[in-house]
A and B are shown apart, each in its own frame.
Chain A
């Protein structure tokens, strides 16, 4: 089976400052892959390169067998990659339902629509006319996930889902994820909470100073290996 997403020797720069140093990363269809690493390890830059917010070198990012490096973010979304950005980034002037509808702007065919999202997160139906940013942090995260699903992606990237949320809410959010992968959706879960990342994923990558410092099956890698790859000690 060919990989759904594949980066090969991915590098990234901010001006003269190099941030990523030849990152190789693979996601298979239907797979949940965790990406962990300390602040400044290069996780966000990696995601920006994959989603087109940062221009990736030619042929360094392939999706569904086709190169997507250099494409604009909207083209990459239309191709089937959606993202739940760090900090949710809901649109303040849009209601919950309007935020979800913006997610469906690309009109990609698939099972996800307003009703499917409301079935996954019933509270959102009750709050659908409320401004998105007036919800609690957990509910906002549900909107952000629903908004990304509305584009019917093949690959969903979740950046720091647990950031700023209580453990109970984090559990509620992560409990919903397995149902997403039943239809073959692949996930990249970026997390600072290593235990959560290991629990939800089949494989993990750890990044340190712009390089992949560890990769393997989530249940096989040891605590010591992760500590060393995470902190470099």
Chain B
């Protein structure tokens, strides 16, 4: 009995990380209808950026990693904004193919560049003792401090995104531009700038998720596509364009994988895919489609 509860709790913690994977993807799709197939690779790029900065400054420990993580956020925003203004805006239109092809190309470039610079060896971000510390809940249950922290960060990020979209002028601009780009321009909104801000914000979320992934486990240059798949599955299970939906989708995915791992160590990822396929067959619009 307790072992099953433990499995569920660990699954929820894993789902928290998957939710962070999904946030940037959900934001970019929600505002621009842009499917960024390089999403996972940018996440890994952020993890390697954190790794490089820690190595360059010779820093160690969880505090240094957290500081580097925070320092990466403005850089990620500028990078995302620039990428959107200089590259991705030119691919947007009624035809989704150009953005898919360009982001697929970026994915290949990033993977090869990272392999060239860092080799294919797995790396990790230094977390000191944090990765081994846990919170004991009663006699039968314990939760890792790092996974629990990631889960709490995921909840805070989702709540912040929901607040931003629902309560702020920037959120209204995101929603209006997403609803009708031409009408939004007639109201004085510069769609190219709004899209740039959305991607900048998405890349902040990518940097958060990438560095937390690097703290929780190892990463290597070709891990991006697997992360993209998890982000996709979370977003689609939860419903396109809904942050809490993507969060719920990620928790379902994480929990299902955890149950699969418990039944057989080789079944975890496969179980997640089964749930995703069932959702596509039974409720293709997802659990909570665009509930803004």
Q: Could you list which residues of chain A lie within 8 angstroms of chain B, going by C-beta atoms?
A: 51-53, 72-74, 77-78, 82-83, 85, 89, 91-94, 98, 101-103, 105-106, 147, 151
Task: Write 28 A-B pairs (CB below 8 A) sorted by A numbering.
Answer: A53-B182, A53-B185, A72-B185, A73-B186, A74-B188, A74-B189, A74-B190, A74-B191, A77-B185, A77-B186, A77-B188, A82-B186, A85-B183, A91-B176, A91-B180, A91-B183, A93-B175, A93-B176, A93-B290, A93-B292, A94-B176, A98-B172, A98-B175, A101-B169, A102-B176, A102-B184, A105-B173, A106-B187
- CB of B185 within 8 A of CB of A94, answer no
Residues of B within 8 A of A78 (CB): 188
Give A91 to B173 CA distance when docked, in angstroms. 10
Scoring B residues 176 to 216 as 1 if CB is less than 8 Å from chain A, else 0, what string do you get? Answer: 10111011111111110000000000000000000000000
Give A123 to B246 CA distance when docked, in angstroms. 37
- Given known A-B contacts A98-B172, A102-B173, A105-B173, A93 and B189 have beta carbons under 8 A apart: no
Give A68 to B216 CA distance when docked, in angstroms. 55
Which of chain B's residues has its CB closest to A144's CB? B183
- CB of A89 within 8 A of CB of B183, answer yes
- Measured between C-beta atoms, what is the minimum distance from A149 to chain B in Å? 12
Contacts A74-B185, A103-B187, A151-B187 known; list 11 others, CB within 8 Å. A53-B182, A74-B188, A77-B185, A91-B176, A101-B172, A102-B172, A102-B173, A102-B184, A105-B169, A105-B173, A106-B187
Residues of B within 8 A of A89 (CB): 180, 182-183
Give A93 to B178 CA distance when docked, in angstroms. 9
Residues of A within 8 A of B189 (CB): 74, 102, 105
- Given known A-B contacts A89-B183, A92-B179, A72 and B190 have beta carbons under 8 A apart: yes
- CB of A94 within 8 A of CB of B179, answer yes
Residues of B within 8 A of A53 (CB): 182, 185-186
Contact-size category for B = 20 to 34
- CB of B187 within 8 A of CB of A105, answer yes
Give A82 to B191 CA distance when docked, in angstroms. 17
Find the residue from B175, B186, B191 having the highest chain A CB count within 10 A: B186
- CB of B188 within 8 A of CB of A93, answer no
Residues of A within 8 A of B180 (CB): 89, 91
Residues of B within 8 A of A73 (CB): 182, 185-186
Residues of B within 8 A of A82 (CB): 186
Residues of A within 8 A of B182 (CB): 53, 73, 89
- Given known A-B contacts A85-B183, A89-B183, A105 and B188 have beta carbons under 8 A apart: yes
Give A83 to B188 CA distance when docked, in angstroms. 10
Nearest 5 interchain pairs by C-beta: A77-B188, A106-B188, A73-B185, A89-B183, A91-B179
Which of chain B's residues has its CB closest to A151's CB? B188
- Measured between C-beta atoms, what is the minimum distance from B241 to chain A in Å? 9
- CB of B186 within 8 A of CB of A51, answer yes
Residues of A within 8 A of B190 (CB): 72, 74
- Measured between C-beta atoms, what is the minimum distance from A161 to chain B in Å? 15
Which of chain A's residues has its CB closest to B182's CB? A53
- CB of A94 within 8 A of CB of B186, answer no
Give A144 to B38 CA distance when docked, in angstroms. 39
Residues of B within 8 A of A103 (CB): 187
Residues of B within 8 A of A106 (CB): 187-188
State which residues 253-292 of B face A: CB under 8 Å.
290, 292
Which of chain A's residues has its CB closest to B177's CB? A91
Give A198 to B191 CA distance when docked, in angstroms. 37
Give A92 to B179 CA distance when docked, in angstroms. 7
- CB of B186 within 8 A of CB of A85, answer yes
Cβ-neighbour of A93 out of B179, B183, B185, B186 (below 8 A): B179
Find the residue from B182, B183, B191 having the highest chain A CB count within 10 A: B183
Give A45 to B176 CA distance when docked, in angstroms. 23
Scoring B residues 155 to 182 as 1 if CB is less than 8 Å from chain A, else 0, what string do you get? Answer: 0000000000000010011011011101
Give A85 to B290 CA distance when docked, in angstroms. 25
Which of chain B's residues has its CB closest to A81's CB? B186
- Measured between C-beta atoms, what is the minimum distance from B228 to chain A in Å? 26
- Measured between C-beta atoms, what is the minimum distance from B230 to chain A in Å? 27
Cβ-neighbour of A102 out of B178, B187, B191, B290 (below 8 A): B187
Give A22 to B186 CA distance when docked, in angstroms. 24
Residues of B within 8 A of A92 (CB): 179
Which of chain A's residues has its CB closest to B291's CB? A93
State which residues 219-251 of B face A: CB under 8 Å.
none
Which of chain B's residues has its CB closest to A107's CB? B188
